[in-house]
Chains A and B, each alone.
Chain A
Amino acid sequence: MAERMIEFRDALREAMSEAMREDPKVFLIGEEVAEYNGAYKVSRGMLEEFGPRRIIDAPISETGFAGLGIGAAMMGLKPIVEFMSWSFSLVAADQILNNAPKMLYMSGGQLQCPIVFRGNDGAGGQLGSTHSWCVESLYANVPGLKMVIPSDPYDAKGLLAAAIADPDPVFCLESERMLSMTGDVPEASYTLPIGKAIIRRPGTDCTIVSFGRPVHFCMEAAEQLAKEGIDCEVIDGRSVKPLDIDTIAESVRKTNCCVVVDQSWSFASVGSEVAAEVHRICFDDLDNHVHRVHNDDVPAPYAHNLEAEMLPNARKICEAVRSVTYNA
């Protein structure tokens, strides 16, 4: 098969469009998704194909349209709710955290909530602290939701397609900084299993676990470290929830060392969860405590150099790997 290189944003759109062609219960609602063609052009052309009843421009009113999506999902529709940025989802926190993930439980199994919330997560680039949210740690704390973080166009299509098909609420965390990334994406529909990690690079000396955009920093670090004689295994978790701890643990049993790279803040985070699980499951296999690379524990700054320093990067990952393998 010839390669078909498309952008991350187009891969997302393909997942949505294919689902919408397949199932009339699927619709898209969000700010600027229709006539504007998407604030980030993810939904470009969808209004034309599906019309205004299924591609719905919402007012700037996250609580309103997130809650509307939840109600629609309770009635059996399959809404895709786009947050222009997950940073804006905070004003809808009650809806997305209190209603969507708990509806099944509170109703004793009577009401499912098959909804997808998706949008840009992570520092977009000098957007300052209110717009640079990494919500994964905050939201993954809540039982009843699932969370996927694609790191390339292929995963973007496969994971979003799986999210739409999933009967539970799924949070799909994309990255503004990756939307223009191109990758080989099959034209045909496909889904990737939610809750299954992938080994991006096999290695023997140290396991590096990450999600989403920082996976690329991990790969960069692994190349550098290979030159130093440290052979890293890079695992792209793909899903935060369910977390594929089995794949991670299997790797750590082999390497005996683990670094977790998480673009959210360290306290009570996805990174600390992975670390705790690795410590629990792989205790007798560890040659050092799990090391973590996170955003620095400060609000995201505006200045270019400060922001670059605050985010996880290859240098920090290299340092962590050297330290965890006693090569510091």
Chain B
Amino acid sequence: MDVTTVMSSSPSTQEAARAKTPIPGPEVLVKWLRDMMLIREFEVRCMQAYQNKLAGGFLHVYNGQEAVAVGCIAALQSDDPVITAYRDHGHALARGMDPKIGMAELFGRIGGCAKGKGGSMHFFDVTNHMYGGHGIVGAQTPVGAGLAFATQYEDEVINKRPNSRVTLCFLGDGALNQGAFHEACNLAKVLNIPVIYVVENNQYAMGTAIDRCTSAADQLTKKALAYDMDAIEVDGMDVIKTYCDMKALVDDVRANPRPAFVDMKCYRYKGHSMSDPRKYRTHEEEQSYESQDPIDTLSKFMLKTGVLEEPAIKAMSKEVRTEIRAAVKWAEESPEPDISELYHDVYVEQWGPYTGTSFPQFMQDESKGGS
């Protein structure tokens, strides 16, 4: 089924397209559940660490949006690039980053994914094709087009073969109002770049409700019309729906390289950052979304379909807790970066006070393990 027709047609056609994508088998569902639990537990421990002053700077947690990262990334090949903004822990973990590497980064330790130089907003894991982690709202959207341009260029121009990769570029609904996003969409369409802009529509641009700051808030896919881009709405609270919708779109974009737009409907349980008292919305609203929690939804589905029993889910939850606890411990034990790191990784080559660059420890370990 051609996704293009789905976009411009009624929700029922989209439903039909989703139905075409089979629900993956039990092993995959178990993995998704575990990934979402891992992300949730990771974020909870991040908040705790933040309050214990183990983490500094800004912290934007992903609680409630786990299905988006897990479902979208499940729809990708392992070498499809992913890029997002500053609420990036979930994507990094879903892409396969070891939680201890992420936690160490949050703690500003040498063992972190960016040697403690990036922090919460800059989770990079190139071995898992996670290209950050970007702090400026919307700034990652042209860069995302560039990642997709490059994969396509490598395939089509250098290696003279059909396009093989799709880039997912995540952004928040607040980023829709950044000029960079619109330039990126236009450019991506003009050049037919295989990038999918996934708008994680959690309905708040920091503390401003979407209808107070964004035009066409009730139907964001209209934005894509201006760029003649295919666009779909996806339920980001249900990982299976997310996966199925995204899988169809990703596969189509891979085969017919072009940009696409996704209004990914979701909800951010916590504040924009740790200092956000969430006075701009009601407790009732929060509760109504928490009652549709993506982890609960999948757990119930698995219980209902007999994929997992209650004790197994409990055991998984405990296992995840143990893993994250170990990650926190590992991160705490990782040393602070040596002061010499200050002048490292500024330039590739040595000159003046600059000492060149090197991969972070986890990548060096991986390459050793791999060889």
Contact = CB atoms under 8 A, between A and B. Distances in A.
In the complex they form, whether A and B have CB atoms below 8 Å apart is answered with yes
Interface of A: 24-25, 27, 53-54, 56, 58-59, 61, 63-77, 79, 94-95, 98-99, 104-112, 143-144, 146, 166-168, 195, 242
B345 interface: yes
Contacts of A112: 348, 357
A95 B151 contact: no
B348 A104 contact: yes
B358 interface: yes
Contacts of B153: 27, 53, 72, 77
Given A53-B156, A63-B183, A109-B359, A76 B345 contact: no
B325 interface: no
State which size class the interface on B falls in. 35 or more
Contacts of B145: 64, 67-68, 71
Contacts of A74: 131, 143, 146-147, 150
A70 B132 contact: no
Contact of B187 (A27, A61, A106, A110): A61
A111 B126 contact: yes
A67 B147 contact: no
Instruction: Rank and list the top 5 A-B pairs by shortest CB-CB distance, nearest first.
Output: A71-B146, A67-B142, A64-B183, A108-B114, A75-B150
Q: Name, among B144, B147, B180, B345, the residue most crowded by chain A CB atoms within 10 Å (CB to CB).
A: B345
B349 A168 contact: yes
A106 B147 contact: no
B113 interface: yes
B115 interface: yes
Nearest to A69: B146
Interface string B333-351: 0000000000011111101
A95 B131 CA distance: 15
Contacts of A76: 150
Given A27-B153, A104-B345, A109-B345, A73 B146 contact: yes
A98 B136 contact: yes
B347 to A, nearest CB: 5
A168 B139 contact: no
A68 B147 CA distance: 7
Contacts of A53: 153, 156-157
B115 A108 contact: yes
B81 A75 contact: yes
B320 interface: no
Given A27-B153, A75-B81, A109 B139 contact: no
8 contacts: A72-B147, A74-B146, A94-B139, A104-B347, A105-B346, A108-B124, A110-B126, A110-B363
A274 to B, nearest CB: 15
B149 A71 contact: yes
Contacts, number: 164
B18 to A, nearest CB: 30
B179 interface: yes
Residue from A25, A108, A112, A166 having most chain B Cβ neighbours under 10 A: A108
Nearest to A25: B158
B158 to A, nearest CB: 5
B346 A67 contact: no
B216 interface: no
A70 B146 CA distance: 6
A72 B150 contact: yes
Nearest to B143: A71
B119 to A, nearest CB: 9
Contact of A242 (B147, B348, B352): B352
B89 interface: no
B118 interface: yes
A106 B136 CA distance: 13
B139 A67 contact: yes
B346 A144 contact: yes
Contacts of A56: 191
B346 A70 contact: no
A111 B81 CA distance: 13
Contact of B142 (A24, A66, A107, A108): A66
B201 interface: no
Contacts of A25: 158
Contacts of A109: 114-115, 344-345, 357-360
Nearest to A115: B146
Given A64-B145, A64-B186, A106-B114, 5 more contacts: A25-B158, A67-B184, A69-B146, A70-B142, A108-B359
Given A71-B144, A110-B114, A168 B187 contact: no
Contact of B345 (A66, A72, A108): A108
B112 interface: yes
A109 B115 CA distance: 8
B105 to A, nearest CB: 8
Contacts of A77: 150, 153-154
B213 to A, nearest CB: 20
A76 B129 CA distance: 13
B95 interface: no
B139 A65 contact: no
